[in-house]
Amino acid sequence: MQSSRGTYGQVSDQPRPRKNRRIALLGASAVILLVVVVAIAIAVSHDHHSPDSSSSAPSTSVKSIQAICQPTDYKVTCENSLTSVAGSNTTNPNDLVKLAFQVTVDRIHDAANHSSVLQSLKHDPRTAQALENCNELMEYAVDDLKESIEKLGGFDLSKLDKLVEDLNVWLSASITYQETCLDGFENTTGDAGESMRKAMKTGMELSSNALAIVGGLSNILGDMNLSFLNRRLLSEEGSEFPSWVSLGRRRLLSADANGTDPDVVVAKDGTGQYETINDALAAVPKNGNKTFVVYIKEGVYKEYVQINRSMTNVMFIGDGPTKTKITGNKNFIDGTPTFKTATVAVVGDGFIAKDIGFENSAGPEKHQAVALRVQSDMSVFYNCQMDGYQDTLYAHTNRQFYRDCVISGTVDFIFGNSPVVFQNCKIVVRKPLDNQQNTITAQGRKDRREPTALILHNCTIVADPEYYPVRKKLPTYLGRPWKEYSRTFVMQSQIDDLVRPEGWQPWFGDFALNTCFYAEFDNRGPGAGVTGRVKWRGVKTISWEHAQKFTVEHFIQGTRWLPVTNVPYIPGLLPVSSYRPDDF
């Protein structure tokens, strides 16, 4: 069985645009760090001028750097990298903040340059593609950091409580892109992969450090008695909608396709402006704040579609998840890197799809074959269908919400490292190859501070009719840990008898069994009993209060951005059931 995720495809074929919302978020991250450094500078300055200070004491700059680096996992990397560029005379907090960002950018750029140098070491097509893709990923990872440096200052500190979780999401995405670069070297020949890993080591450590610093801000700022941190993070008044939400979007989501006034119409029979989806996407304005609606009429569209980074606030509306279908068959076995096998790839933020089907028809024998890949922040899929076998849905990065969708597959068919909630969805397990075992999820959390997880809430897990007769012979598991801190929750869901009593399957050996976080809460059905579950340290029993943290409202801040879309959602947990699955 192929257990690798394969390699990463090109993120976009267009230059990365500047985006005001994202600049604001990551610019604010610099301001948050500025507040921290100011606090540190005050404390350090007090120590430096106290009567007990000696001439041999560390300089103000060194002490400030040490304080900034205190919450990080890679303190030596943090301190050495900042000290090397700050020098002993740099005490201005603003300068230190800029240097903290810039040194991370520089190290990631060094890794990108190393990727170009390594082109001479490529030994096979997969290695060549992995090296090429790493260049794209490095640029993607540093763009926001560079823009945050340019946008230092000018932000209202009283509103930073609404941005802390956003910053964690974006920093997590940056870490994931770098990790995906390295994933691309699995199943390649030669030593290019190991050389790239060494080149990326410092950049990845600095990125992790940034996540640690932002993650510790609440405690640091709380000590400064800043009252705004006592309010719930990311709370937002009902009338205070994100700038990318338009009245048209709200109206469209509450209506059938025939009742909408789309910007463009796609129809295979020639009754629209375009006969292909890609032709229609050429009309999408770059970096638009207004929703751009693409109505795709009933039909099977055999094309590969990418909503690029510049295509923000795009909405696809079809005639139904089994009537309007986008299909392809690219796959890993035939030589395409896993990431590039996606029939549809969604990169631009604020994407919404309704009544659409996404398919990869390659079949189980072709192993990794993605139907839908998503890295669009605050994206929504409503009444959609994703069909494939291995790796059907790649929820790669950033906040995503799936409601009333059908997702089918075999091995790791819901995978990625997004903060994502699947609610009221039907998870259909298909018949795998005779030498395979089904795993529904493979979550890719690399750093323990990343705010990411796969959340299945009030879903139904069932066997496809073809698989049902052999479900005992070819077992199904809820998931397996793809990365060290893999995190998956199955809550208040119906689990049929196809799921093995053990529940969870190892990736290989004892990898991540102690560091993963897998939990089941208040589930029902003959497959929901937990007495036979594996006894890994990473398989947890959680309380109602703990489970509540992983709901739409708290985990993806859904009450902040979902109400205006008119997509139905359950903000928190349902009333706890008195049902006892182990009674079966």
pLDDT of 133 reads 81
Give the type of residue at 568.
Answer: P
| Residue 55 · residue 239 · CB < 8 Å | no
d(CA 472, CA 143): 49
- Which of 554, 579, 419 lies closest to 493 in space, CA to CA? 579
- With cut-offs at 50, 70 and 90, classify the pLDDT of residue 257: low
Handedness of CA 369, 372, 377, 378 (dihedral sign): negative
* Catalytic (active site) residue 412: yes
Radius of gyration for the chain, computed over Cα atoms and rounded to the nearest angstrom:
24
Which percentage of the chain shows pLDDT scores above 70? 74
The predicted model gives 285-313 an average pLDDT of 94
The predicted model gives 7-18 an average pLDDT of 36
Q: Which tens digit of pLDDT belongs to each residue from 95-124?
A: 665 677 678 888 888 887 877 667 666 667
Mean pLDDT of the chain: 81
- The reported pTM is 0.86
Question: Which range is least confidently modeled, 216-230, 283-297, 387-401, 464-478?
Answer: 216-230
Q: Which tens digit of pLDDT belongs to each residue from 486-501?
A: 999 999 999 999 999 9
Give the number of residues written for the chain: 584
| Chain-centre distance for alpha carbon 343 | 19
d(CA 414, CA 392): 6
Q: Which tens digit of pLDDT belongs to each residue from 496-532?
A: 999 999 999 999 999 999 999 999 999 999 999 999 9
Q: Which tens digit of pLDDT belongs to each residue from 172-190?
A: 998 999 999 999 888 887 7
Choosing from 183, 355, 412, 497, the catalytic residue is 412
SS (H, E, C) 448-492: CCCCCEEEEECCEEEECCCCHHHCCCCCEEEECCCCCCCEEEEEC
pLDDT of 210 reads 83
The two tokens of residue 560 are: 């902040």
Q: Which tens digit of pLDDT belongs to each residue from 33-82?
A: 445 544 444 444 444 444 444 444 456 677 778 877 888 899 999 888 88
pLDDT of 482 reads 98
